[in-house]
Amino acid sequence: MPTTLFSPLQLGSITLNNRIVMAPLTRSRAGDGNVPHALNALYYAQRASAGLIIAEATQVTPEGQGYITTPGIHSDEQTAGWKAVTDAVHANGGRIFLQLWHVGRISHTSFQPHAAAPVAPSAIQAEGKTYTRDGFVPLSKPRALDTDEIPSIVAAYAQATRNALEAGFDGVEVHAANGYLIDQFLRDKTNHRTDQYGGSFENRSRFLLAVVDAVTTVAGASRVGVRISPQNAFNDISDSQPQALFNHVAEQLAPRKLAYLHVIEGDMSGAPAAPFDYAAIKQLFGGLYMANNGYDKARASAALAEGRADLVAFGKPFIANPDLVTRFLLDAPLNPLQAATLYGGSHPGYTDYPLLQSTAAA
């Protein structure tokens, strides 16, 4: 029988009811102190029919923040707030991982303790802006991390994992994509270091692997996923040899027997990308491969049937369709996305998208 979006899947010690994954989606709706609250719990509970929810990127330290009102997992209050979210998802039969995040240079001094410069592998400013309480402002120039500072960030990922498990998450995802701190170490546009964290593929992968090893020591490998984005230029990032670099990353992750590898294929902007062999990444990793970026039901179904992916993550369709699984099952039309309410605000455009039955009854 061919694999479909609705085929169950064993993910470590948990069974997923389907292979439709809710991708991590920044919505900038955390409460004071970057603490998740009741509205966030409702939002995720509405989408619990996903085979797996990967909760939005969540900073592992205060220094890891780069956008307004994004949640953290480094304080007791944040951990308690997330516990209400996981309880709501589990009560509705769902499974949920937390994406662990440090933005690195994609930040502004207003987010940093004592208004310090953001940290990065190298002191190279990113082109772009971020949204603060004063509106859109240019990203701040980062400072390069000292070699002896790096282990403390690795330790912060480990502590964030402990907090996530205490909060009731089924596992965690290490965010190594989209131009944030770990990706900044991986790619040569942003990593000009001359110590053991720069230069060769082995050195540039060292920080990622240290984080993965610290996180798996806490959670166990079967409860840890990793997200990469080999061709994504988001946040002013690139690499001169992406295929060779990410082949190396996949080879290094393979023996660690992780829950899955989550791969953003191509560029999130939709811009044409150079040819890239994602099948090689899947083969070299050897474990469950989660595909992401621009998938609809037909394309996702083909990827699963042909063995090119084991799970498929959907982003914006899940924002606008809390019952996306049901809509896919019934080939029902999808709600349109309200772009104006993607970030910030309260329930409009967040928890008020209509369900299929309420749409039909209208």
Q: How far apart are CA 137 and CA 117, in angstroms?
A: 14
Instruction: Determine the straight-line distance between the first and last CA of the chain, rounded to whole angstroms.
Output: 38
Query: Does residue 43 have an active-site annotation?
Result: no
Catalytic-labelled residue, pool 180, 278, 350, 353: 180
Q: Is the dihedral of CA 90, 68, 124, 179 positive or negative?
A: positive
d(CA 226, CA 165): 17
Whole-Å CA distances, 116 to 108, 111, 160, 193: 9, 9, 22, 21
Helices within the chain (DSSP H only): 38-46, 76-91, 150-166, 181-186, 201-204, 206-219, 242-253, 278-285, 297-305, 316-320, 324-330, 356-361
Q: Can you tell me the distance from the alpha carbon of 167 to that of 71, in angstroms, rounded to the nearest whole number?
A: 13
User: Which are the catalytic amino acids?
Assistant: 180
